[in-house]
Amino acid sequence: MLKKEKNIVVGRKPILDALESGVNFEKILIDREMSGELEVTLRKKCKEKDIPLQRVPLPAIDKLTLTNHQGVAGFISPISYAPFDETVDQLIFEKGDPVFLILDQVKDVRNFGAIARTAEVFGVGALIVPAEAKAQINDVVIKTSAGAVLNIPVCRVSSLFTAIKTLKLHGVQIAATAMEGKAVHESRFEGPLGLVMGSEEKGIRPHLRRLCDQTVSIPQLGNTESLNVSVSVGIILYEINRQRGFVRKTQP
């Protein structure tokens, strides 16, 4: 049964039918005790479509609906995710030197919305996010981004590690942010670029950082340990555009 007011689909057949018809799900929840053919089918289909499948206690699903959910519920995404490989090929062909913004472990929906707004303003080609452990795109994200998340391709991938390796095979240079990195204004951002940003709490995971071609940092004068990730994104994207000559002159 479709609960439009909550943007969820519940029930085994409705979920399977929705998956077959191409409905975009943010995530699907199943009873953690579920096993058998249905569980295998759901796991396979979610893997094919890079949809997070989460096992949760049955009471967690009970809270979502009063109807008979049969241990399955799915949250419909308000956006259509862009296919990763096709998006990369198209942007490199059309722009030559696009910027891909790769978000690792950014879970706060307001941060995500602010990042999407900044990315769209500065002409980022696409956002790349992991299927697991990311901010769920919902009405808060859309509002915080001032609708920008609807105007920029968002690619959801099962593995950021594989996605970064694919970008590198396309000639994309990968930059990561790190406190010990080279100052952003002293770094060079030429050609197609992938910028990896992590959360303030955990930063970028080590196995992803090892794939990067350079690390950059934002010089600080104060004693606060780090900037909010959405603010950091804005500073670095401004510098990328400044170096590339894309920054518009302000009107007197």
In a domain, 250, yes or no: no
Scan for tokens 């699903």, then name that residue. 61
pLDDT in tens, 63-112: 888 788 988 999 988 888 999 999 999 999 998 899 999 999 898 899 99
Chosen domain end from 29, 46, 76: 76
My answer on whether 155 and 121 are in the same domain is yes
Mean pLDDT, rounded, for 106-132: 93
How would residue 2 be classed by pLDDT, with cut points 50, 70 and 90?
Answer: very low
My answer on whether 63 and 120 are in the same domain is no
Ranges of H-type helices in 31-108: 37-48, 58-62, 84-95
Q: What residue numbers bound the domain in which 72 lies? A: 2-76
Q: What pLDDT does 230 receive?
A: 92
My answer on whether 71 and 88 are in the same domain is no
In a domain, 16, yes or no: yes
Three-state DSSP class for residue 49: coil
- CA distance readout (Å), 2 to 22, 49, 70: 15, 20, 14
My answer on whether 100 and 223 are in the same domain is yes
Question: Is the pLDDT at 53 greater than 80, yes or no?
Answer: yes
Q: What pLDDT does 3 receive?
A: 39
How would residue 246 be classed by pLDDT, with cut points 50, 70 and 90?
Answer: confident
Q: Report the greatest alpha carbon distance in the chain.
A: 68
Which residue would you say has higher pLDDT here, 13 or 224?
A: 13
Q: How far apart are CA 205 and CA 199, in angstroms?
A: 10
Question: Is the pLDDT at 247 greater than 70, yes or no?
Answer: no
Q: How far apart are CA 199 and CA 9, in angstroms?
A: 31
In a domain, 251, yes or no: no
In a domain, 154, yes or no: yes
My answer on whether 89 and 71 are in the same domain is no
My answer on whether 50 and 172 are in the same domain is no
Q: How far apart are CA 222 and CA 220, in angstroms?
A: 6
Which pTM does this prediction carry?
A: 0.85
Mean pLDDT, rounded, for 116-145: 89
147: number of Cβ within 10 Å: 13
Q: How far apart are CA 101 and CA 68, in angstroms?
A: 41
Taking all residues of the chain, what is their mean pLDDT, rounded to a whole number?
Answer: 88
Give percent above pLDDT 70 in the chain: 95
Contact 192, 172 (CB under 8 A): yes
Highest mean pLDDT among 39-43, 118-122, 144-148: 118-122
Question: Is the pLDDT at 250 greater than 70, yes or no?
Answer: no
How would residue 6 be classed by pLDDT, with cut points 50, 70 and 90?
Answer: low
Question: Is the pLDDT at 7 greater than 90, yes or no?
Answer: no
Within 8 A by CB and 6+ apart from 82, the residues are 126, 153, 154, 155
Q: One-letter amino acid identity for 59?
A: P
Structural domain count of the chain: 2
Mean pLDDT, rounded, for 35-40: 88
In a domain, 249, yes or no: no
Chosen domain end from 32, 52, 76: 76
Question: Is the pLDDT at 1 greater than 50, yes or no?
Answer: no
My answer on whether 43 and 60 are in the same domain is yes
Q: How far apart are CA 92 and CA 125, in angstroms?
A: 9
Question: Is the pLDDT at 157 greater than 90, yes or no?
Answer: yes
Q: What pLDDT does 4 receive?
A: 40
My answer on whether 15 and 97 are in the same domain is no
Q: Which residues pair with 127 in a beta bridge?
A: 101, 154
My answer on whether 88 and 138 are in the same domain is yes
Chosen domain end from 29, 44, 76: 76
User: Any idea what the CATH number is for the domain that residue 233 is in?
Assistant: 3.40.1280.10
User: Any idea what the CATH number is for the domain that residue 24 is in?
Assistant: 3.30.1330.30
In a domain, 252, yes or no: no
My answer on whether 113 and 199 are in the same domain is yes
Contact 197, 177 (CB under 8 A): yes
Q: Which two tokens stand for residue 119?
A: 């990315």
My answer on whether 70 and 177 are in the same domain is no
In a domain, 162, yes or no: yes
My answer on whether 180 and 69 are in the same domain is no
Q: Which residues pair with 44 in a beta bridge?
A: none
In a domain, 233, yes or no: yes
Which residue would you say has higher pLDDT here, 115 or 68?
A: 115
